[in-house]
Amino acid sequence: MYPDYYYSKEHEWIKMDGDTGTVGITEYAQEQLGDIVFVELPEVGKEFQAGDSMGTIESVKAVSDIYAPLAGKIAEVNKGLEEKPELINESAHDQGWIVKMVLADKGELDSLMKKDDYEKFLSEEAD
């Protein structure tokens, strides 16, 4: 069900392309949130450490933080979410990406889960 990306325990994903990672929230996370109505995006150029809040996602149910899965600098934000935040509900692992960030240390990827580990994590969380 999940693409071959890296995943955090906070339900963010990151897809690597060289030193740049595209970041979003998982299908599971968007299902838990329900209909997304607003996304607060970080500023391009801003730097974050792993686990820092980069912005928020507001749904009909709740407001949730978007966490940086790894340390890095924001290179691009998905401006399409400003007009159409529901892209996250429609396409969480593709068009609903949130930011692109240049990683401070690609070695940190080892601290994240691969697809199979994330799916196992979800099944354990459900128990």
CATH topology for 6-126 is OB fold (Dihydrolipoamide Acetyltransferase, E2P) (2.40.50)
Residue 1: pLDDT band with limits 50, 70, 90? confident
Would you kindly state where each structural domain of the chain is located, as residue ranges? 6-126
Nearest to 34 by CA among 47, 43, 25, 22: 25
**Cα distance between residue 43 and residue 54, in whole Å:** 9
**Cα distance between residue 12 and residue 41, in whole Å:** 15
DSSP type of residue 27: H
**Cα distance between residue 8 and residue 14, in whole Å:** 9
Residue 125 has, within 13 A of its CA and on its CB side, a CA count of 12
**pTM reported for the whole predicted model:** 0.95
Q: pLDDT tens-digit profile of 49-72? A: 999 999 999 999 999 999 999 999
